[in-house]
């Protein structure tokens, strides 16, 4: 990735035991919704509670992307900027949309959602774009 290019983050949420293929399908659906190719993606992000899920780790490995585990306080801060508001997810995770909050938290305070989260089977994925990095020279 060159300087000045935006960073695209896939925030991931899932039910316990979701397979890597199911996580991958949610990522593919989110990318398709935004008209992006798989190589546009720079990293995956999820909560500390989901960070150990083999399916999420497997999807990151298959895609060759780093997985960022977001702390709860950062999720809650980003949660105010989510588009999706699920009472069930809020009760379970403390944020209205885990996928959206994880993507936004990893994208930073100037990050923005590219589209609301998409659900495919037991997995959800939301894409966020971080602000483009400036040339530091």
Residue 1 included in any domain:
no
Residue 3 included in any domain:
no
Residue 63 included in any domain:
yes
pLDDT category of residue 6 using cuts at 50, 70 and 90: confident
Residue 2 included in any domain:
no
Mean pLDDT value of segment 70-89: 94
First to last CA, the chain: 16
The pLDDT score that the predictor gives to residue 4 is 54
| pLDDT 10s digits, 16-61 | 999 999 999 999 999 999 999 999 999 999 999 999 999 999 999 9
Q: Which domain holds residue 67?
A: 8-129
Rounded to the nearest 10 degrees, the angle between the axes of helix 72-79 and helix 98-107 is 100
Number of domains present in the structure of the chain: 1
Between residues 93 and 22, which one has the greater pLDDT? 22
How far apart are alpha carbons 113 and 130 in whole angstroms? 9
CATH classification of the domain holding 32 = 3.30.420.180
Residue 73 included in any domain:
yes
The pLDDT score that the predictor gives to residue 134 is 43
pLDDT category of residue 131 using cuts at 50, 70 and 90: confident
The pLDDT score that the predictor gives to residue 1 is 45
* pTM for this entry: 0.91
Q: Which of 45, 41, 49, 24 is nearest to 103 (CA)?
A: 45
The pLDDT score that the predictor gives to residue 133 is 58
Residue 137 included in any domain:
no
Residue 136 included in any domain:
no
Residue 13 included in any domain:
yes
């Amino acid at each position: 990735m060159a300087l000045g290019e935006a960073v695209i983050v896939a925030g991931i949420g899932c039910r316990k035991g979701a397979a890597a293929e199911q996580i991958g399908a949610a990522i593919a659906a989110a990318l398709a919704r935004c008209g992006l190719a798989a190589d546009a993606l720079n990293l995956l992000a999820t909560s500390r509670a989901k960070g150990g899920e083999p399916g999420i780790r497997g999807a990151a490995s298959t895609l060759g992307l780093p997985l960022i585990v977001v702390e709860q306080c950062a999720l809650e801060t980003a949660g105010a900027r989510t588009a999706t508001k699920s009472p069930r997810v809020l009760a379970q995770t403390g944020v209205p949309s885990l996928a959206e909050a994880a993507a936004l938290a990893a994208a930073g305070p100037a990050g923005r959602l590219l589209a609301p989260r998409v659900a495919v089977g037991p997995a959800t994925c939301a894409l966020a774009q971080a602000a483009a990095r400036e040339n530091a020279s």
